[in-house]
């Protein structure tokens, strides 16, 4: 198979972790006889430096041409005070929108070898296995009107949380379909006791649910969901929620997996005529500028994202499973980065990537 993949390393540790994910893709391509065609593009702070904009047109074009896009992370402290439209993050929001990847899948599971890495009690996190389905191209991150206006005491900031029925329906169907291949339970998270937006969300989710009579549905308010995630994480199978709630809850979920460095994500949209999903794959973690360039970052979130790319955009389940098995082998060996609090000397980013490749071979 010919795999045309766009790489967007982005900022901070993005370059280091994607380098290892690319190494893994190359190993898989060699071992399973695929042709891998890689292109590279600019996104985020690095794009602002080189072109003046976080999402250059060239990058959008490359992403639309590629079969799948693998991304590192975006964001740099030097842009902390820049207006939202001139920040690296805007590039990421832009490319998600251009690709139409409306469902962000963030699997959270505990690995036996990492059970001590979670700050939570072992008995509590053990056996956690959920997938957070975060709506990704709507809601308050995109809604208009938005902006800051006025002066002095009258200075005022506005953001808008908006969803259409169609946007809720498609991501809900995605969540229910995923649940069918799992424990058949969807928990929809909203704030319907306060927000009209959430009232529509809940109503539409309830309307879609009967299409999937074999899947159980329940609802949680987002504040309670935040608590249940750390009180009783095993209660969750598929957690379906809107953009901002999903952003927040998935960082919380990362604690259950031992480290946010472990979490992969797949952002998918509609199917292409070939049957493959349009997809953008990125670790959940940020650009971690404090440790950038030090060969310390955990590449497993990025490598897990590469596995998701193989599975969803190319239907290469066997290859994806080989990557997951290799990751597990490396975790069991204890040869892991500092964030996972290994007993001995922490491994470097590169060593972890190489170990995963060796395990695939």
Residue 75 engages ligand IPM in binding (rule: CB under 6 A): yes
Q: DSSP per residue over 17-58, as a string? A: HHHHHHHHHHHHHHHHT-EEEEEE---THHHHHHHSSSS-HH
Q: Where does residue 260 rank: exposed (0-12), middle (13-18), buried (19+ CB within 10 A)?
A: buried
Q: Pick the stretch among 125-133, 242-250, 320-328, 338-346 that binds Mg ion (CB under 5 A).
A: 242-250
Distance CA 276, CA 272 (A): 6
Within 8 A by CB and 6+ apart from 360, the residues are 24, 27, 28, 31, 322, 323, 326
With CB under 5 to 8 Å by kind, the binding choice for 89 among ligand IPM, Mg ion, none is ligand IPM
Nearer to Mg ion, 247 or 339 (CB): 247
Q: Tell me the C-alpha distance between 264 and 107, whole Å.
A: 7
Least CB distance from residue 275 to Mg ion, whole Å?
A: 30
The catalytic position among 4, 97, 111, 251 is 251
Contact 348, 19 (CB under 8 A): no
Report in angstroms how near the CB of residue 64 gets to Mg ion at its nearest: 24
Site for ligand IPM in 219-248 (CB under 6 A): 247
Among 92, 302, 316, 331, binds ligand IPM (CB under 6 A): 92
Q: In angstroms, rounded to a whole number, what is the distance separating the alpha carbons of residues 4 and 29?
A: 12
Task: Say how many Å lie between the first and final Cα of the chain, rounded.
Answer: 19
191 counts as catalytic = yes
User: What is the smallest separation between the CB atom of 263 and ligand IPM, expressed in angstroms?
Assistant: 10
Cβ proximity to Mg ion, 93 vs 186, nearer residue? 93
Of the listed 191, 237, 296, 312, which one is catalytic? 191
The β-bridge partners of 217 are 186
Of these, 11, 20, 67, 89, which contacts ligand IPM (CB under 6 A)? 89
HSE (CB half, 13 Å, CA atoms) of 160? 9
Minimal distance, residue 166 CB to Mg ion, in Å: 25
Residue 251 designated active-site? yes
Q: Provide the 8-state DSSP code for 170.
A: H
**Distance (Å, whole) CA 81 – CA 62:** 30
Peptide bond into 145 cis (omega under 30): yes
Q: Is 247 an interacting residue with respect to Mg ion (CB under 5 A)?
A: yes
Site for ligand IPM in 148-207 (CB under 6 A): none
Least distance to ligand IPM, CB of residue 91, Å: 9
Is 153 a known active-site residue? Answer: no
Phi-psi label, residue 151: left if phi above 0, alpha if psi -120 to 50, beta otherwise: beta
237 binds, among Mg ion, ligand IPM, none (CB under 5 to 8 A by kind): none
Name which of 141 and 212 has its Cβ closer to Mg ion. 141
Size of the site for Mg ion (CB under 5 A): 1
Stretch that binds Mg ion, among 43-51, 84-92, 245-253, 335-343 (CB under 5 A): 245-253
What residues line the site for ligand IPM (CB under 6 A)? 74-75, 89, 92, 247, 284
- Active-site amino acid positions: 141, 191, 223, 247, 251
């Amino acid at each position: 198979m010919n795999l045309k993949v766009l790489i967007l390393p982005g900022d901070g540790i993005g370059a280091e972790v994607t380098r290892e994910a690319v190494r893994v893709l190359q190993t898989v391509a060699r071992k399973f006889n695929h042709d891998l065609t890689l292109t590279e593009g600019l996104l985020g702070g690095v794009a602002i430096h080189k072109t003046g904009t976080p999402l250059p047109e060239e990058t959008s074009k490359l992403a639309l041409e590629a079969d799948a896009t693998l991304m590192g992370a975006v964001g740099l402290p030097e842009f902390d005070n820049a207006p939202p439209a001139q920040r690296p993050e805007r590039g990421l929001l832009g490319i998600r929108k251009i690709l139409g990847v409306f469902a962000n899948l963030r699997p959270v599971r505990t690995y036996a070898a990492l059970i001590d890495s979670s700050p939570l009690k072992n008995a509590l996190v053990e056996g956690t296995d959920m997938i957070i389905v975060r709506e990704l191209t709507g809601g308050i991150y995109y809604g208009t009107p938005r902006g800051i206006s006025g002066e002095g005491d009258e200075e005022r900031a506005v953001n808008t949380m908006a969803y259409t029925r169609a946007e809720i329906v498609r991501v809900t169907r995605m969540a229910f379909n995923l649940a069918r291949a799992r424990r058949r339970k969807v928990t929809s998270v909203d704030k319907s006791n306060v927000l009209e937006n959430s009232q529509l969300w809940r109503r539409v989710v309830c309307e879609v649910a009967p299409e999937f009579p074999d899947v159980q549905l329940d609802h949680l308010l987002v504040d309670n969901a935040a608590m249940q995630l750390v009180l009783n994480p095993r209660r969750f199978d598929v957690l379906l929620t809107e953009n901002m709630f999903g952003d927040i809850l998935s960082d919380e979920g990362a604690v259950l997996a031992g480290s946010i460095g472990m979490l992969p994500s797949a952002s998918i949209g509609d199917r292409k005529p070939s049957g493959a999903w349009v997809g953008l794959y990125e670790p959940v973690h940020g650009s971690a500028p404090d440790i950038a360039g030090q060969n310390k970052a955990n590449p497993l979130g990025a490598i897990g994202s590469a596995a998701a790319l193989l599975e969803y955009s190319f239907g290469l389940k066997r290859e994806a499973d080989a990557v997951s098995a290799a990751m597990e082998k490396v975790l069991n060996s204890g040869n892991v980065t500092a964030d996972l609090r290994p007993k001995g000397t922490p491994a470097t980013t590169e060593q972890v990537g190489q170990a995963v490749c060796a395990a695939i071979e």
